[in-house]
């Protein structure tokens, strides 16, 4: 199945941006830890990025309708490129007395990322034919997960041979090429409604979520899934490997890698069997959510490292088999004009609950033990499965204008 030029430009442009995002975060984390020697200060990198993206998701609707979606995406990438140049100069003379400047810059970059992410998802239905939508989502997810899996490893290797600020300049080159590719995209037709007040613009996506039955359920699914997914962040998984599996830290890397491999295999499966999945979107969403719940519970009770590796792969695999059809349901549940504000609202739920969930799971792990947090995660996924099962008839493809 051949996809058109605009989707290819979008895919390659965002892929270069995603590569750069991972490399610049790796270099920033390394720089701050070397300067401060504090794991607590270093952990605020993720907190800063998540918080900025959350507020961006809330405010992005103010720009939608006033700025063409293509230029909103390209402009955010150009803005990230400019900010990264500033970061490159700052890192040359950074000291322990002014490292807070790094947090200001990465917060601004994350703010622009929070704008770009929902717009990218919104543009896919504009650039591909309806019958190619599931296939396009599968391709986009496959590329994204491969980049995530590979670039953290590449970033770690680059830190051995290059300084952090040189990596930042390499990222700058990636961002420049990404900006050029995104500028080459065709403008999309995005009708605007009557002028509204700022509060009404911010509320627009939330109103659409609450008034569209399937989106209302997906919002709750994202709420519970995001909290459940925080057990797979590096810090909590590391403790599980050490305390529950009683193996050395290399297994942390293996299990983390198996999770990403599962995501990639799930994406490839969706691409290969796109026609079959198209006919059974609701079934794949239900099976993916139910199996994810069962596997997470098994993972929490398991003490065998090899079995944990297999379970981690299956969590990624079945999670992706659910998520890609779910993206297609979202993209066809409302008109293209409404889609951008829907995605900003869903992104706000995701980023907001990720920050809260990470903190909550960390506290639970300290108070009740590391296995308990994975059991809690499994129970939250059981709630997701129940929501999907009770509303199975809603999870269908609706072709809208």
Q: How many CB atoms lie within 10 A of CB 304?
A: 11
Do the beta carbons of residue 126 and residue 9 sit within 8 Å? no
pLDDT in tens, 335-346: 888 888 898 899
CA distance 122 to 337: 9
Q: How many domains does the chain have?
A: 2
At which of 144, 161, 186 does a domain end? Answer: 186
Mean pLDDT of 272-277: 90
Structure-block tokens of residue 299? 């993972």
Do the beta carbons of residue 102 and residue 32 sit within 8 Å? yes
pLDDT in tens, 307-351: 999 999 999 999 999 999 999 999 888 888 888 889 889 988 988
pLDDT in tens, 282-292: 999 999 999 99
> Residue 122's pLDDT is what?
86
- Higher pLDDT: 204 or 381? It is 381
The CATH number covering residue 387 comes to: 1.20.1250.20
pLDDT over 90 (residue 172): yes
Domain contains 192: no
Residue 90 pLDDT grade (very low, low, confident, very high; cuts 50, 70, 90)? confident
Q: Are residues 258 and 399 in the same domain?
A: yes
Structure-block tokens of residue 102? 């790094």
Q: Are residues 159 and 242 in the same domain?
A: no
Q: Are residues 126 and 235 in the same domain?
A: no
At which of 186, 213, 248 does a domain end? Answer: 186
> Residue 2's pLDDT is what?
61
> Residue 193's pLDDT is what?
52
- Can you count the helices (H) and strands (E) in the chain? 15, 0
Q: Are residues 247 and 388 in the same domain?
A: yes
Q: Are residues 133 and 207 in the same domain?
A: no
Residue 3 pLDDT grade (very low, low, confident, very high; cuts 50, 70, 90)? low
Mean pLDDT of 57-65: 81
Domain contains 339: yes
Q: Are residues 58 and 175 in the same domain?
A: yes
Domain contains 196: no
Do the beta carbons of residue 231 and residue 360 sit within 8 Å? no
pLDDT in tens, 212-258: 999 999 999 999 999 999 888 766 887 888 888 988 867 877 888 88
Q: Are residues 171 and 244 in the same domain?
A: no
Q: Are residues 249 and 179 in the same domain?
A: no
- Higher pLDDT: 42 or 217? It is 217
Q: Are residues 15 and 138 in the same domain?
A: yes
CA distance 298 to 53: 33
> Residue 266's pLDDT is what?
93
Q: Which residues contact 359 (CB under 8 A, 6 or more apart)?
A: none
Domain contains 127: yes
Q: Are residues 265 and 318 in the same domain?
A: yes
> Residue 191's pLDDT is what?
57
At which of 186, 220, 251 does a domain end? Answer: 186
Domain contains 21: yes
Q: Are residues 145 and 244 in the same domain?
A: no
> What range does the domain containing 277 cover?
203-401
Residue 68 pLDDT grade (very low, low, confident, very high; cuts 50, 70, 90)? confident
Domain contains 10: yes
The sign one gets for the Cα dihedral 24, 27, 32, 33 is positive
Residue 190 pLDDT grade (very low, low, confident, very high; cuts 50, 70, 90)? low
Residue 63 pLDDT grade (very low, low, confident, very high; cuts 50, 70, 90)? confident
Closest to 22 measured CA to CA, from 158, 141, 139: 158
Q: Are residues 147 and 38 in the same domain?
A: yes
Mean pLDDT of 170-176: 94
- Provide the percentage of residues in the chain whose pLDDT is more than 90: 43
- Higher pLDDT: 319 or 150? It is 319
CA distance 398 to 172: 41
């Amino acid at each position: 199945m051949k996809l058109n030029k605009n989707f290819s430009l979008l895919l390659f442009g965002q892929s270069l941006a995603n590569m750069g995002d991972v490399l610049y975060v790796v270099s920033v984390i390394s720089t701050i830890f070397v300067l401060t020697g504090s794991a607590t200060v270093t952990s605020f990198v993720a907190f800063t990025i998540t918080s900025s993206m959350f507020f961006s998701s809330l405010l992005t609707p103010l720009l939608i309708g006033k700025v063409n979606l293509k230029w909103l995406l390209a402009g955010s990438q150009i803005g990230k490129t400019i900010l990264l140049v500033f970061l490159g100069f700052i890192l040359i003379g950074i000291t322990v007395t002014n490292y807070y400047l790094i947090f200001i810059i990465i917060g601004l970059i994350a703010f622009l990322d929070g704008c770009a992410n929902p717009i990218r998802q919104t543009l896919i239905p504009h650039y591909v034919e309806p019958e190619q939508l599931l296939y396009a989502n599968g391709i986009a997810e496959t590329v994204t997960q491969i980049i995530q899996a590979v670039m953290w490893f590449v970033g770690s290797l680059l830190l051995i041979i290059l300084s952090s600020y040189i990596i930042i300049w390499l990222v700058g080159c990636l961002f420049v090429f990404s900006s050029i590719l995104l500028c080459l995209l065709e403008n999309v037709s995005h009708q605007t409604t009557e002028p509204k007040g700022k509060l009404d613009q911010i509320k627009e996506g939330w109103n659409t979520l609450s008034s569209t039955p399937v989106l209302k359920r997906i919002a709750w699914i994202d709420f519970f899934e995001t909290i459940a997914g925080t057990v797979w962040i590096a810090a909590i998984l590391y403790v599980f490997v050490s305390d529950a599996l009683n193996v050395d830290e290399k297994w942390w890397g293996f299990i983390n890698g198996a999770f990403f491999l599962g995501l990639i295999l799930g994406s490839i499966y969706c691409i290969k069997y796109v026609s079959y999945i198209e006919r059974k979107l609701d079934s794949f969403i239900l099976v993916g959510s139910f199996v994810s719940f069962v596997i997470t519970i098994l993972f929490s009770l398991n003490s065998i490292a090899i079995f944990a590796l297999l379970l981690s792969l299956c969590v990624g695999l079945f999670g992706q088999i659910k998520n890609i059809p779910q993206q297609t349901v979202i993209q066809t549940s409302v008109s293209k004009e409404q889609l951008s504000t829907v995605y900003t609202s869903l992104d706000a739920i995701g980023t907001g609950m990720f920050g809260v969930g990470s903190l909550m799971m960390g506290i639970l792990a300290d108070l009740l033990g590391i296995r308990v947090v994975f059991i809690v995660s499994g129970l939250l996924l059981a709630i997701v499965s129940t929501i999907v099962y009770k509303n199975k008839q809603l999870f269908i493809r609706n072709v809208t204008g």
